[in-house]
Structure 1
């Protein structure tokens, strides 16, 4: 697993360089849309994913690959890579400096290694299943242990919204109900970076619907290995619902999320 996370970091940093170099100035042109007219993809997304795919499979040709922008590749090694080349594409298009490369490795469906880098700030996070989470400070690794919030009313909660209009309207109503019970809500625009922020205490809790495996894999492992509890509506976190909080307040927070109607 250490080998996997080191490979993810090397490839992730190369992809981050490519994205940064190709961004240029002003607003980036949209190449296509996916689930709705506001769910966009750029040529840089595609180029970054192709670079990541080629580098990973050159190093480990028997592995599988699942990326946001291309077709999945079935491998024979038991290891599958789960990749988002630019998590936060809308931020990337507009030049808002909150977008990341996210690379995770899974074995038999369980994420075992993950790496996330904020492309603009170059902040980096990683985790290994059972081996903890950390961020890099220069060349040194700083372990992450999520701090416990004081209480529910003082929690800063991260969230996001679906690109399908009807779904996001329901989510907005749920968030409106949540606002009366917590300190405030932040919508940063990158699930991977939200989950890393949760791991180091920049956020106290998180809730989002509609996350795909590449949105959740690497950042989710960083969060859980830092001590955060991640859950879904009736079991593991999934596309239907992702909730995250420190164990000291997790059940109380999860009950509140359910009451708010997410």
Structure 2
């Protein structure tokens, strides 16, 4: 059972499906990763192993969802796409933080969100190497389970000015875009407490929710990168958005405490982020 406080049993049902699928996929990825992926002898390259694990995790997730809710739509990073007829669509990132996974870094996650009539209503991010799972339903708050006893409700950090904000970001794989993003970060660093680069958008969004970051921004995200984490951050009291008047998107995603969001977003727009 969940600890979210929702009066909508349907959304709670969707959340439970997402939690089970994320848990199973996380176990598959954690337990199926070769101990030394860089020298995996049975494949032509370590990237092949990661790709196969990624695809296997998405197949597990979409198979479970299809068994439970065959009329729903699907959108997955590894190519799963189905329109559906129920008004519900699942947005799936089976392995967010692929490079971290390749290198044995712990910051990788499984991210699953459910949308109803185009609005996100449930989301789960499981970070197996952290031993933590973050989840939320619309209007029910954001919660996490981990090494502590039971589930705890998440809340973003208390108000602090931008110059005392710890902010995370990410960088694109395309060299030219990455260079532009580095210039934005260079201009931003003197104006905040410090900048982090975690390597998983889903985990960064959940860290804003958990009060481990004051803010996070990135350009170039896909729907599956941010769907679950965006809901979790908002349900924890954070503000999320993109360019002024726009929702989070590939053009710009920002999530931050209410005090930090507007000044951070305005600076990013000024800097060309």
Shift of 1:149: 4.0
Report what 2:141 is aligned to: 132
Report what 1:89 is aligned to: 98
Q: Does 1:236 align with 2:247?
A: yes
Root mean square deviation, CA, Å: 1.4
Moved more, 147-156 or 23-32: 23-32
State whether residues 215 and 260 of structure 2, in contact with CA within 8 Å, keep that contact through their aligned partners in structure 1. no
Report what 2:52 is aligned to: 43
> Over residues 89-144 of structure 1, what are the superposed CA-to-partner deviations in whole Å (9 max), with x where a residue is unaligned?
11001101110010100012211100011021220100101111111246722111
Report what 1:168 is aligned to: 178
Q: Where in structure 1 are there 5+ consecutive unaligned residues? A: 33-40
Shift of 1:248: 2.2
**Alignment coverage as a number of residue pairs:** 254
TM-score (norm 1): 0.93
Distance (Å, rounded) in 1 between the aligned partners of 2:104 and 2:81: 29
Q: Does 1:214 align with 2:214?
A: no
SS of aligned partner of 1:30: helix
SS of aligned partner of 1:146: coil
Q: Does 1:74 align with 2:91?
A: no
TM-score (norm 2): 0.90
State whether residues 219 and 253 of structure 2, in contact with CA within 8 Å, keep that contact through their aligned partners in structure 1. yes
- Runs of 4+ more than 3 Å apart: none
State whether residues 207 and 244 of structure 1, in contact with CA within 8 Å, keep that contact through their aligned partners in structure 2. yes
Q: Where in structure 2 are there 5+ consecutive unaligned residues? A: 1-10, 39-45
